[in-house]
Amino acid sequence: MADPSSFAPPSRIVVAGASLAGLSAAKRLRQLGYSGDLVLIGDEPYPPYDRPPLSKQVLTRRLSTDTTLPQPRDLDIDWRLGVAARGVDLTARRIDLANGDALDYDRLLIATGTRARPWPKPDEASIDGVLTLRGRDDADRLVPRLAASPGRVLIIGGGFIGCELASCCREMGLAVTIVESERVPMRRALGERIGAFMAGVIRDHGVDLRLGAMVERIEADNAGAVAAVMLKDGKRIGCDLIIVALGAVRNVEWLEGLGLLTSARGLRCDAFCRALRANESPAPGVFAAGDVAHWPLVANDGHLVTVEHWGNAVEQARMAAHNMLAGDITGMRIHQHLPDFWSSQFGLNIKCVGLADSAEEMAIAQGSVEGRRFLAVFGRKGRTIAALSINSARWLPAYRALIEEGAPFPPIEGAVDQPRMRKEAAGFASIDT
């Protein structure tokens, strides 16, 4: 049965999660002429800030830990900061806050993102000198520790954040070890071949990169400060600071048992950004965007994805804002953004469009790997699905267009400035996508 109240223009929109997606939605709502109440609830005490610099310029103190995102003066937001949303009544259209307040809503956007996955053994995770990095408070703890010149920093996890952290450490002249269980770093996003290339770059910069290795135990000294890690193979590595960089956990626990479809992969929503109930029908008036959302990506044959990238948080939030004001489905638009991300580390500028992790094949399409300036293309079922540039982003827009139009793989062959292309296995095969 259609929900008659969803056709009424909203007079109060509540956003749970006051970060990049939350702010992007708020800005878009006002741009679209929404003039009703707009409430942003955030459990952190800060106005929305930018996270990417926290693992880059902030650690080397080229930027302060205050990376507040710019916002227009006239947003007219009722800010509820430093207080968590703790439940939703889907029938009454009411959200409950941890301080006992309750707010009625006509539309609700859930943008509660993710948090850093902690070290799984709580007694070891609480040792002095074992840190994670997700937010501004984490950076506030980490910056002085790094500035105090620890003898060795040990990073558990060689994903993007772990490698960016290692890059900062080397820039600061610190000895650093990465312990990564995969055969290459950043394999989940880059695949085997590019990951192997990155391993070479990382080692050339003086990082002690331990691949195929796992931390078994974290040890403290007599004063209770971190002293070493014990690897599964029995090797012991002494260190004074440990950064756990094991990826992210989605902030959905507060929604469990309320009728919404949640899992470790996030809050399920449809391509219109509408949050789904357990029976997969849209929850009236409830939308989701950003890192917390688990949604069908048109460019990925409609397979469900979670995308933890800055660009998607902005675009999905803007689409959710549009659809929150659209009235009914006939006015709504599909979120069909092609995911992209960037990283800077070890003097390299890495950019990617599309989701490479479901690729079967790859090829170097421009530049040369030896010259550390190239563009790789990724294909699946004969189609080009992603392109990744290393210090050569100028080629990316052309490849983005080809991916969007579903070009064959490889997309451009025989151009005068191209290397001879050789298709290779993409190296994601054993990854559960």
Q: Is 306 in the site for ligand FAD (CB under 6 A)?
A: no
DSSP-derived 3-state class of residue 291: helix
Between 146 and 175, how does the x/- string for binding to ligand FAD read (CB under 6 A)? ---------------x--------------
Find the shortest distance in angstroms from Cβ 22 to ligand FAD. 6
At its nearest, how many Å lie between ligand FAD and the CB of residue 131?
A: 12
Smaller CB separation from ligand FAD, 6 or 251: 251
CB of 9 to ligand FAD, least distance (A): 25
Half-sphere exposure of 358 (CA within 13 A, CB side): 17
* Residue from 413, 407, 420, 404 nearest 379 by CA: 407
Pick from 315, 422, 351: which is nearest to 189 by CA? 351
CB of 289 to ligand FAD, least distance (A): 7
Report, in Å, the least distance between residue 112 CB and ligand FAD.
Answer: 4
Q: Exposed, middle or buried: residue 233 (CB in 10 Å: 0-12, 13-18, 19+)? A: exposed
Min dist CB 224 to ligand FAD, Å, is: 27
Nearer to ligand FAD, 10 or 266 (CB): 266
**Contact, 189 vs 345, CB < 8 A?**
no
Provide the 3-class DSSP secondary structure of residue 247: coil
- Please pick, from the candidates 29, 41, 166, 305, the single residue that binds ligand FAD as defined by CB under 6 A: 41
**Site residues (CB under 6 A) for ligand FAD, limited to 330-369:** 341-343
133 in contact with ligand FAD (CB under 6 A): yes
Angle, CA of 405, 407 and 409, to the nearest 5°: 155
Q: Which of 28, 51, 93, 351 touches ligand FAD (CB under 6 A)?
A: 51
Nearest CA among 207, 211, 155, 159 for reference residue 180 = 211
CB of 425 to ligand FAD, least distance (A): 26
Run of H or E residues at 348:
strand 348-353
Binding mask 222-251 for ligand FAD (x = CB under 6 A): -----------------------------x
Residue 16 near ligand FAD by CB under 6 A: yes
Maximum alpha-carbon separation in the chain: 66
Q: Does 324 bind ligand FAD (CB under 6 A)?
A: no
Alpha-carbon distance 54 to 241, whole Å?
A: 17
Q: How far apart are CA 178 and CA 53, in angstroms?
A: 20
Residue 169's H or E segment, with its range, is helix 160-171
Per CB under 6 A, 88 contacts ligand FAD: no
Contacts with ligand FAD: how many residues (CB under 6 A)? 36
Among 13, 14, 21, 169, binds ligand FAD (CB under 6 A): 21
Residue type, 100: G
Q: Binder to ligand FAD among 15, 25, 52, 179 (CB under 6 A)?
A: 52
Residue 77's Cβ-count burial label (10 Å; 0-12, 13-18, 19+) is buried
Q: Does 113 bind ligand FAD (CB under 6 A)?
A: yes
Q: How many alpha carbons lie under 13 Å from residue 104 in its C-beta half-sphere?
A: 5
Site for ligand FAD in 273-302 (CB under 6 A): 290-291
Q: Which stretch binds ligand FAD (CB under 6 A): 64-72, 208-216, 271-279, 304-312?
A: 304-312
Give a three-class secondary structure readout of 64-99: CCCCECCCCHHHCCEEEECCCEEEEECCCCEEEECC
How many angstroms separate the CA atoms of 228 and 138, rounded? 21
Minimum gap (Å) between residue 288 Cβ and ligand FAD: 9
Q: How far is the CB of 220 from ligand FAD (least distance, A)?
A: 26
Binding site residues, ligand FAD, CB under 6 A? 16-22, 41-44, 51-52, 54-55, 84-85, 111-114, 133-134, 161, 251, 254, 290-291, 308-311, 313, 341-343
